[in-house]
Amino acid sequence: MRRTLGLALAMVLLASAAAAHADGRDVLEELGPCMAGAGLPADPECLAAFDVDGDGDVDLHDFAALQAGVDPVGACCFDNYSCEILTEAACLAAGGGGEWLGAGSECGQCTLVRIRAITFGGTGSTTIKHDCAYPPCSSYGTQQWLDANHDGDVLDAGDHDYPVAYARNSHVTLSGVQFWVSPSGTASGVQVRGYGPDGLTFTGTGNLSGSTLNVSGTLVSEGTLPNTVKYYPSFDIVWEVAFDGVNFVDGGTSSTRLYVTRSTPLGDCLESYFHISTQAADGLADEQPVIDAIWAEFADREVYNVDGERLGYYRGVLCASYCTYYSAPELVYYTTSQCGGWADLLRQCFRTQGLNSSVFVTAEPLTSALPLDCGSYPSSAAGFLVKNYTFNGWGTSCTAYPFSFNDPCGYYAAWPSPTCTDATGLPGQDNPNPASWFARHFIVKINMAYYDPSYGAGPFTGTQEQANMQWELGAMAGYFGRAEASSSRAGVRKDIAQTRETYFDQ
């Protein structure tokens, strides 16, 4: 009896449901014969197909559940940017301009929101400058993230992604935060939140006018940047927006290069200085470890500017005069320089991390330790040769400077068969055999230790004379002067190990 009643009811319901939902007709038609009612044995195939609530039978509960599935729900978007998950009918009945987005749609689909612009700043921030050869170089703009066409990236014409820098342990302060919103409209008190790396969060409110949502005032991060040097190749902030203050929808992601420095940067603040020093010292905070890590970057003789171009020492030239780049800006811009540029670059990397006591050191021949040459107006050595050189028998009559030598610039008159000739090495930055005939050389001193970045050599420690001696042992091949009074041909004398024949001016 109960089965007969159940079947009859099922057929009535089936008829009405099928009429309303043609696409659900097949399912409901199949369900009818399976409805055995509570307590009655059911066909195993029916159970497998229709026991929706899993209670061991196929009954009206299962029918209702299936019927709801046939009348699906989806996102109902209202004019005031709120949303509810409703059936289509309920959505239409709800008023408020509700637009039903279809079965299975979600509220996140109601409104398209994309982060469009951000300006980084606040206490602890530093404006980074473009690399350029001759400072003052231009600063990157203050609107560091701009997705002008709001397509979710900053790769298109009119877009840009500028680097930013903060001293460690700073809050990140954002202003000018702006979103693009579709459909356009008007709303106030829109909740905005952003999730950055390492637990940094940003919250604020904004007003929508047309398709632009402007966040009011500044957003100061909850939480601070790490208390160490750190390089974020991509400081991603995942943004969310809630027009109703409750239901947050995706607002896109901004990605910015962010450098965290040990302390407030000094100097010209070119991006390559940040790039080299911050990557090298990532994770460090104390002064000496930061110095050591930056030096390690130079010591391996593999240094790259922010564009990934390797920096070289006298690349492609053996005559120093042919390289007319003398400073760190020229080095990072033109990717090659003399030793002065390398010493400057190491100093600028230290300065960028706020280290303020490095000095520029000049190394020259120690005239008091070297004999007079054989020129018509005898003087001490005019300069030195950096290793390596080969010496094959005396070629001059000047006993103080006995090896005949032709310099690579043609500054001195030439010998037909010089006995002192250049050989490969000492390797310099990205150069196995750089220029090596010099009047002087430039290095860096910090904390009473000496560093020769052109060759990645050092640190040289002890007293100044001890450090000078260590440097000289590793670098000096010999010293040159005039070999004859009657001509301007040059002679060379070999460096004497353990005798200091150069000096540092600092």
Q: Which stretch binds other proteins (CB under 8 A): 114-122, 223-231, 250-258, 445-453?
A: 445-453
Burial 432-443 (b: 16+ CB within 10 A, else e): eebbbbbeebbb
| Residue 355 contacts other proteins per CB under 8 A | yes
189 CA to centre of own chain: 34
Contacts of residue 224, defined as CB under 8 A and 6 or more positions apart, other chains included, come to: 169, 170, 171, 200
- Closer to other proteins by CB, 17 or 343: give it: 343
Bin 245: left if φ > 0, else alpha if -120 < ψ < 50, else beta.
left
Are β-strands 457-460 and 449-452 bridged in parallel, bridged antiparallel, or unpaired? antiparallel
Residue 326 in contact with other proteins, rule: CB under 8 A? yes
CB of 287 to other proteins, least distance (A): 4
CB nearer to other proteins: pick between 195 and 326: 326
Name which position in 129, 275, 441, 493 contacts other proteins (CB under 8 A): 441
**What would the two tokens of residue 390 be?**
């080969």
296 binds other proteins (CB under 8 A): no
Out of 291, 311, 370, 420, name the contact with other proteins by CB under 8 A.
Answer: 291
Q: Which is nearer to other proteins, 37 or 383 (CB)?
A: 383
Do strands 449-452 and 383-386 pair parallel, antiparallel, or not at all (unpaired)? unpaired
491, HSE (Cβ side, Cα atoms, 13 Å): 25
E-strand ranges in 104-195 read: 112-121, 125-126, 145-146, 160-161, 164-167, 173-195
Is residue 440 near other proteins by the rule CB under 8 A? yes
Tell me how far, at minimum, the Cβ of 482 lies from other proteins, in Å: 12
Q: How crowded is residue 356: how many other Cβ atoms within 10 Å of its Cβ?
A: 11
- Is residue 267 close enough to count as binding other proteins by CB under 8 A? yes
Q: Can you tell me which of 146, 200, 320, 443 binds other proteins, judged by CB under 8 A?
A: 320
Smallest distance, other proteins to C-beta of residue 466, A: 8
User: Which residue number, 176 or 434, has a Cβ lying nearer to other proteins?
Assistant: 434
Q: Which position among 81, 120, 403, 438 is part of the footprint of other proteins (CB under 8 A)? A: 438
Name every residue whose Cβ is closer than 8 Å to that of residue 417 and which is 6 or more positions away in sequence.
395, 404
Instruction: Figure out which of the listed residues 70, 319, 473, 496 binds other proteins, where binding follows CB under 8 A.
Output: 319
* Closest to 262 measured CA to CA, from 241, 239, 243, 278: 278
# chain residues binding other proteins, by CB under 8 A: 48
Q: Does 125 bind other proteins (CB under 8 A)?
A: no
The reply on whether position 277 binds other proteins by CB under 8 A is: no
> Which is nearer to other proteins, 240 or 472 (by Cβ)?
472
Q: For 151-166, give the secondary structure using H, E and C.
A: CCCCCCCCCEECCEEE
Q: Does 447 bind other proteins (CB under 8 A)?
A: yes
Choice from 83, 303, 331, 339 touching other proteins (CB under 8 A): 339
Contact of 331 with 311, CB cutoff 8 Å = yes
CB of 452 to other proteins, least distance (A): 13
Phi-psi region of 483 (alpha: psi -120 to 50; beta: other; left: phi over 0): alpha
Query: Two tokens at 324?
Result: 């007319």
User: By CB under 8 A, which span of 145-153, 172-180, 235-243, 286-294 interacts with other proteins?
Assistant: 286-294
Kindly state whether residue 310 participates in binding other proteins, applying the rule CB under 8 A. no
Closest CB to other proteins among 81 and 313? 313
Q: Does 470 bind other proteins (CB under 8 A)?
A: no
Burial-class residue 243 by CB neighbours within 10 Å (0-12, 13-18, 19+). buried
Token pair belonging to 407:
């310099």
- Among the listed residues 289, 233, 229, the one whose alpha carbon sits nearest the alpha carbon of residue 262: 229
Among 120, 239, 442, 451, binds other proteins (CB under 8 A): 442
364 binds other proteins per the rule CB under 8 A: yes
Partners of residue 504 on adjacent β-strands: 363
The nearer residue to other proteins, 4 or 138, going by C-beta atoms, is: 138
* Interface contacts to other proteins, rule CB under 8 A: 136, 266-267, 286-288, 291, 319-321, 324, 326-327, 338-340, 343, 351, 355-360, 362, 364, 382-383, 407, 409, 411, 435, 437-442, 446-449, 463-466, 505-506
